Amino acid sequence: MRTDDAEIAALRARVDCRAVLEHAGWRMDIRESTRRAVKYRCGAGRIVIVTHGGQGWFDPLSPAKGDVFALAQYLWGGSFRDACLALRSLAGVALAAPAALPGRPTGALLPLAQRWQCRRPPRPGSPCWRYLTEVRSLPDATLGRAIAADLLREGPAASLWALHRDGAGGIAGWEMRGPHWRGFATGGSKTLFAIGAVAPARVAITEAAIDALSLATLEDFAPGSLYASTGGGIGPATERLIATLATATTGAEIVAATDADTAGDRYAVRIADIAAASGVRCSRLRPVRGDWNDTLRNGNAR
């Protein structure tokens, strides 16, 4: 059966990527989703994030991304025509997933830099400080070092804000992690949270800022090492920054220090691919426990 341009345009407009994933048996991760970026999971380690109101998507563990036709091919294989045939039955299908997701606050948002500067760094005895030291077992010295580098702010409800900078050193956004929730700055872009050597011979990449700080603590901020976090996804900006860091120092090494699970192993492969494309060595460093903060809290050395 022939698929013409008009039908392609109609399918693109009427088939929501979220409906396709639901039809394929994927489940929304409500806790880690926002209205702008809805995370879906399938089994162990398979993740797709839907963007642009259901019109786009990407796999944070691989270069895969695109529109609804690319998603159909990603899920079921086959040709573009096969994707069109599969999507015909989903045109106009309502979403089963709940719509009550965190989104942009009402009213105009302040610029990222202004929102960052309006918040104070964590301080001894504050709710965030107590969360980081008592629950996450991060020592005062580690927090002091990160605060001196202007990398941390205290958010609402004892949450930590951990800064991501862009390639020029400006504020790109920040990871947000508290006792009961996690997220990323509205209007921001994930790049890397990074602390340690200015001209690193070794760049250790974790999945969360708290893990980067935990690994740095376990290694006592090894000389020549930079400890970084992707914030749980590797988009184009993160990929470019990893490549830049990898090639900034002759002979530098990338270390994929992601979680000790299936998703972490997939992240590690993605990081290794970026390193290989940059002509840089890459090694895998798995935490003894599930992640580096688990390892720190349980008193395990590497």
> What Cα–Cα distance (Å) separates residue 99 from each residue in 25, 87, 102, 261, 275?
18, 22, 9, 30, 38
d(CA 73, CA 197): 42
d(CA 299, CA 289): 10
Residue 183 CA to its chain's centroid (Å): 9
Fold assignment, 112-297: Dna Topoisomerase Vi A Subunit; Chain: A, domain 2 (3.40.1360)
More confident residue, 105 or 152: 152
User: CATH 3.90.580.10 region(s) of the chain?
Assistant: 5-88
Burial-class residue 213 by CB neighbours within 10 Å (0-12, 13-18, 19+). buried
pLDDT tens track for 219-272: 999 999 999 999 988 888 899 999 999 888 888 999 999 999 998 999 999 999
Q: Could you give the percent of the chain with pLDDT greater than 70? A: 94
pLDDT at 133: 98
Tell me which of 13-22, 123-132, 218-227 is least confident: 13-22
CATH 3.40.1360.10 domain residues, the chain: 112-297
Q: Which residues have CB under 8 Å from 46's CB, separation 6+?
A: 26
pLDDT at 1 over 50: no
Q: Determine phi and psi for 276, rounding to 5 degrees.
A: -60, -40
Q: How confident is the model at residue 131 (pLDDT cuts 50, 70, 90)?
A: very high
Per-residue confidence band for 98, with pLDDT thresholds at 50, 70 and 90: low
Q: pTM surpassing 0.75?
A: no
> Can you give the pLDDT at residue 37?
83
Is a pLDDT exceeding 90 seen at residue 32?
no
Whole-angstrom distance, CA of residue 256 vs CA of residue 12: 37
Q: What is the pLDDT of residues 6-16, one digit of tens each?
A: 888 889 989 99
E strand map for the chain: 27-28, 38-42, 46-51, 56-58, 65-66, 152-154, 160-165, 171-177, 182-184, 193-196, 202-206, 225-229, 253-256, 281-284
225, β-bridge pairs? 202
Greater confidence, 92 or 21? 21
In angstroms, rounded to a whole number, what is the distance separating the alpha carbons of residues 243 and 300?
A: 31
Q: What kind of architecture, by CATH, is found in domain 5-88?
A: Alpha-Beta Complex (3.90)
Q: State residue 103's pLDDT score.
A: 52
